[in-house]
Amino acid sequence: MEPAPLASLQEEGEGEPGESPSSAAAAVPPRPATHHSLHKYAPLDWSAYFDEERRVAIPDTEDVFNVYMAGSEGPVVFCLHGGGYSGLSFALAASRMKEKARVVSMDLRGHGKSTTSDDSDLSIETLSSDVIAVLRTLYGDSPPAIILVGHSMGGSVAIHVAAKKVIRNLHGLVVIDVVEGTAMASLIHMQKILANRAQHFPSIEKAIEWSVKGGPLRNIDSARVSIPSTLKYDESREWYEGLSEKFLSCPVQKVLLLAGTDRLDRALTIGQMQGKFQMVVVRHTGHAIQEDVPEEFASHILNFIARNKIGPNGVEIPGLIKKWQH
């Protein structure tokens, strides 16, 4: 379903829409939002969900990436958001995982508070290199056990990073609602949605309200945390080309979280029948599973960690992981 334009959003407590404003009425400033509406859609601060916000400066570059961190024990659940989202997309889920895992959620290049020498370069190679650089800067040559978690575009980035086999102690890969076949087929539709979406909002509260009523999210609290930090974006075919085979080739335990079984393409259908990865279908949710149902999402991640016995340092499997390249 395409998002509704901002003009269709109605203040709670107002009468039914339908009347077309006259030219004279159109010149009148918009009616201020009601107190109830301002409170319901008021932004929430990241500190209620994460323990720390850190700026990660990449040596010998102008690139500085913003990351949110939560928890002090267990393996690192390293989260990568989708295009147009930010690291705060995982805020509510992080607050539910941090008792058993360390959660790190990164603002990718061109998103959130991260700043780079070229924020417009969203090629899959550049995005993947950014993630590797952040991991190296944070953990050096002896990283803790790491589980890569990626949503949509971030899922593609996570797969490409894992497929490079340069991350020591990588023990898991979780991809959220992105499959090569359906992603490629939906690019034209997504571009139409982006072209029709509201470009300007009279207030942050209105932007949050739109994201829930006519945009991609269903959870108001998650929208109140994540929407203020988001930027507009363009989809790219290269994010998804060859993604299914690359996902299947990653030499770690894998789980694919989907919002519907219709998203599977042929390669993944065969791979799932052969037991090459675990598939979990999350019902009654939209594309942003981690935002719409954060408690259920957190439960799936923690179950994945427990089932595969991934501790804070993990267990390296000789022959599968290459040494870090310098």
Give the chain's mean pLDDT.
81
Name the most confidently modeled range: 191-205, 230-244, 256-270. Answer: 256-270
Q: What is the pLDDT of residue 314?
A: 73
Is 262 considered catalytic here? Answer: no
Catalytic annotation, pick one of 63, 107, 130, 177: 177
Domain boundaries of the chain, sorted by first residue: 45-230+259-315
Q: What is the pLDDT of residue 236?
A: 67
Catalytic annotation, pick one of 89, 152, 156, 229: 152
Is 117 considered catalytic here? Answer: no
Question: What is the CB neighbour count within 10 angstroms for residue 140?
Answer: 10
**pLDDT tens by residue, 4-18:** 333 334 334 343 344
DSSP symbol at 240: T
- The class that CATH gives domain 45-230+259-315 is alpha beta
Residue 326 has pLDDT above 80, yes or no: no
Catalytic annotation, pick one of 160, 171, 287, 300: 287
Q: What is the pLDDT of residue 321?
A: 43
Lowest mean pLDDT among 25-34, 74-83, 92-101: 25-34
Residue 27 has pLDDT above 60, yes or no: no
Yes or no: say if 196 and 5 are a contact pair by the CB < 8 Å rule: yes
Residue 299 has pLDDT above 70, yes or no: yes
Q: What is the pLDDT of residue 191?
A: 55
**pLDDT tens by residue, 109-132:** 999 999 999 998 999 999 999 999
**pLDDT tens by residue, 44-62:** 999 999 999 999 999 999 9
Q: What is the pLDDT of residue 198?
A: 57
**Within the chain, how many helices (H) and strands (E) appear?**
12, 8
Is 111 considered catalytic here? Answer: no
3-state secondary structure of 147: strand
Rounded-to-integer distance, Cα 200 and Cα 126, Å:
29
Q: What is the pLDDT of residue 75?
A: 96
